[in-house]
Structure 1
Amino acid sequence: MSERSLDLDDFSDLIERPHGALRRQAEERRTRTGLPPQALGRLDDLGEWLSSAQAQVPVRPVADPRLVVFAGDHGVAGLGVSAREAGTAHHLVRALLDGASPAAVLARRFEVPVRVVDMALDCDPAELPAEVTRHRVRRSSGRLDTEDTLTLQEAEEAFRAGMAVADEEADAGCDLVVLGDLSVGGTTAAGALVAALCGTDASVVTGRGGGRIDDLTWMRKCAAIRDGLRRARPVLGDQLHLLATVGGADLTAMTGFLLQCAVRHTPVILDGVVSAACALVGQRVAFRAPDWWLAGQLGGEPAHAKALDRLAADPLLEQGVAVGGGTGALLALPLVRAAAALAAELPVPESEPAPSPTEQSTLDAT
């Protein structure tokens, strides 16, 4: 395989929008329920979105959702930009696998299977199940402020790994993905991507992260994003190169995952700033792809709001959830399931039968 055999331009041809004609049919069916327009608020829009994504009216219930979490450590965390110690993201993964994290509690409550994909955790692979570590590209991504986070070959490998995970989930019958991330330093990488793609300064996108960092740590984080942004700007025209420069293995894989989900017509609920940043990169690759993604929540990171605004994505919830792992997106899942149930089960009157040939002749005569 050559170093750059992956052509992201192919996604523009492969990705179609959800079925617009069926969305109009879903809207027409909703009007026949007798409920006043907008009586169900955004639940109407959600049900119609699902109908178009499934290419089916009435919509099917959401029967087989999955929580897919991409994990990795980032070298930039060594600068002290996070409340967590650098190289400790595997502790977050272990808590999720052991059922002890907020995302694990919600996934258990909502009966959603959990899949964790280690892309660049800084730990011995033997510490985690083989199914978790089989796609790992490297042990921690590079420091985005002074060096590329990945080589181009590693970036392609990570991107293809994300695509492979999307294919595996679609082939297994997943009808809705709840997307999450677990990392130390990931919001710094996401901030650099959002600032680069939105053409804004580092201070505008720098937030407090999942650990609610203090002012000194925030200043270090802002400086790291500023330096990463300086390195990212020259490669804005090449999205894989951009991800290799400042994204790291987990964000690169998530971008490939999102785009391949759109190819496979698998709808996705985005979680926090990391998944939103990857969606922003994906939008640059294929402008129709965001039609398959739903913003589950708005967290506290300013880069998150910036990315969702650029994506024209209106979040379902605004709870300020910042713990990662897909927690905020999981909170939105019951709303999506409720929208599907209402769209599928609210009764509509039977259509009037077509007149028989004899009746039609009588009507024509009159």
Structure 2
Amino acid sequence: MRTFNIVTTAGPLAQQLQKKIDGKTKPLGALGQLEALAQQIALIQQTESPKLSAPQMLVFAGDHGAAKAGVSAYPQDVTWQMVENFLAGGAAINVFTRTHGLPLAVVDCGVAHDFGERAGLINCKLGAGTESYIEAPAMTAERCAQAFENAVALVTRYAESGCNVIGLGEMGIGNTASASLITHCLTDHPLEVCVGRGTGLDDAGLNRKQQLLAQALGRTGKMRDPAKVLQEFGGFEIATMVGVILAAAERRIVVLIDGFVVGAAALVACTLYPAARDYCVYCHRSAEAGHRVQLAAMQAQPLLDLGLRLGEGTGVALAWPLVKAAVAFLNDMASFASAGVSEKA
């Protein structure tokens, strides 16, 4: 599997940035989390005057073999039908990205459907969905490695066109089950704490989902190796997102993380390369039970907490104005000295 050269953003620039932030015309710390966000983005770019250039929202889609066993309230066909909805501009993520002028593309990582060549669709297909991890590994090591190669090519394409901020969303029936298994394996929390209702399971459906995931774990036992966990339980879309996070961090690109499923990809990426955490902006706290577990494991403080559990990157699109505002205040807000305002005595 490809290796990445990811360096921490920590260094002497942090003190300079804090001094710049503290010198703005406001009480110390008065902009709260926006101050930390502004500093994070500036440290990623290693400059006191960061810029957000050619931002890109990507929705990664893939099917999961385990969906056919009943881990979701919806049939597997909904994956490709929702991709069609994205391409037609009718989904929540389309509405929110249009609202905020954020370009959107869909990445087919492994949907069990032939879309052909379509505007707004990027072909990174690894197969017609993963195997059912209840019975066998979700993917081979070779396909997982290819997902990383596809991700590197994708990030390179955007980086070379001037993009320095990428938002991640996803679509794949059954992918919250996959995220639950990944979260359980890479944290110290029991499986039942990591499993939620996904697309809206009732109590009986949730119980069946828990039983099926316990059955999958019975096949493998609890694993700690993030690469192995990804191969056994991941989706093609999750594996590709892991690669995108790592490839983007290597290029010092800001990565906007959505909810539970993108969070599972971030958890794998940050377990493989702890320095990758420096490049991830966690946009919201999902209502999915396991997302709190992920955020705690990554020591992440999300920007929003709206009870969202839709996926698609909707949390990223909603948080995007906050990201822009953080950079704007760092660059454009007057200092006490420049405004002629007296500082605290």
Question: What is the rounded CA distance, in whole Å, between the counterparts of 1:67 and 1:202 in structure 2?
Answer: 31
1:144 has 2:139 as partner: no
Give per-residue Cα distances to partners, 1:1-27, cap 9 Å, x unaligned.
xxxxx24xx33xx10112532222121
Partner of 1:294: 281
Q: Structure 1: which 5+ runs fail to align?
A: 1-5, 351-366
- The partner residue of 1:114 within 97, 104, 107 is 104
CA deviation after TM superposition for structure 1 residue 58, in Å = 2.6
Partner of 1:324: 311
For residue 18 of structure 1, give the secondary structure of its aligned residue in structure 2.
coil
1:219 has 2:210 as partner: no
TM-score under structure 1 normalisation? 0.88
1:162 has 2:162 as partner: no
1:77 has 2:64 as partner: no
For residue 184 of structure 1, give the secondary structure of its aligned residue in structure 2.
coil
1:305 has 2:303 as partner: no
1:101 has 2:91 as partner: yes
Question: What is the rounded CA distance, in whole Å, between the counterparts of 2:189 and 2:126 in structure 1?
Answer: 30
Partner of 1:30: 21
1:1-366 paired onto structure 2 within 5 Å: 6-7=1-2, 10-11=3-4, 14-18=5-9, 20-60=11-51, 62-126=52-116, 129=118, 132=121, 134-209=123-198, 211-233=199-221, 235-237=223-225, 239-348=226-335, 349=337
1:130–1:59 distance in 2 versus 1, CA, 3 Å: closer
Asked if the contact 2:185/2:223 (under 8 Å) is kept, the reply is no
Question: What is the rounded CA distance, in whole Å, between the counterparts of 2:80 and 2:233 in structure 1?
Answer: 21
Question: What is the rounded CA distance, in whole Å, between the counterparts of 1:197 and 1:160 in structure 2?
Answer: 23
Asked if the contact 1:196/1:232 (under 8 Å) is kept, the reply is no
For residue 288 of structure 1, give the secondary structure of its aligned residue in structure 2.
helix
Q: Number of aligned residue pairs: give it.
A: 338
Give per-residue Cα distances to partners, 1:37-90, cap 9 Å, x unaligned.
111111111111111111111333x24211011100111111222121123201
Kindly, what percent of the aligned residue pairs are identical?
A: 29
Question: What is the rounded CA distance, in whole Å, between the counterparts of 1:65 and 1:174 in structure 2?
Answer: 6
1:169–1:230 distance in 2 versus 1, CA, 3 Å: farther
Give per-residue Cα distances to partners, 1:160-212, cap 9 Å, x unaligned.
21222122222221121111001101110000000011133221111011x21
1:331–1:232 distance in 2 versus 1, CA, 3 Å: farther
Give per-residue Cα distances to partners, 1:129-187, cap 9 Å, x unaligned.
28735210000111111111112211111122122212222222112111100110111
Question: What is the rounded CA distance, in whole Å, between the counterparts of 1:112 and 1:66 in structure 2?
Answer: 7
- Greater shift, 187-196 or 215-224, is seen at 215-224
Which amino acid in 1 is paired with 2:275?
Answer: R
CA deviation after TM superposition for structure 1 residue 95, in Å = 1.2
Question: What is the rounded CA distance, in whole Å, between the counterparts of 2:161 and 2:43 in structure 1?
Answer: 21
Partner of 2:341: none
Asked if the contact 1:51/1:58 (under 8 Å) is kept, the reply is yes
Question: What is the rounded CA distance, in whole Å, between the counterparts of 1:17 and 1:275 in structure 2?
Answer: 21
Question: What is the rounded CA distance, in whole Å, between the counterparts of 2:96 and 2:164 in structure 1?
Answer: 19
For residue 203 of structure 1, give the secondary structure of its aligned residue in structure 2.
helix
Q: Structure 2: which 5+ runs fail to align?
A: 339-345
Which amino acid in 2 is paired with 1:267?
Answer: V
1:303–1:231 distance in 2 versus 1, CA, 3 Å: farther
Which amino acid in 2 is paired with 1:139?
Answer: A
Which amino acid in 2 is paired with 1:176?
Answer: V
Partner of 1:364: none
For residue 88 of structure 1, give the secondary structure of its aligned residue in structure 2.
helix
Which amino acid in 2 is paired with 1:143?
Answer: S
1:302–1:23 distance in 2 versus 1, CA, 3 Å: same
Question: What is the rounded CA distance, in whole Å, between the counterparts of 1:308 and 1:316 in structure 2?
Answer: 12
Question: What is the rounded CA distance, in whole Å, between the counterparts of 2:100 and 2:90 in structure 1?
Answer: 15
CA deviation after TM superposition for structure 1 residue 284, in Å = 1.6
CA deviation after TM superposition for structure 1 residue 296, in Å = 0.4
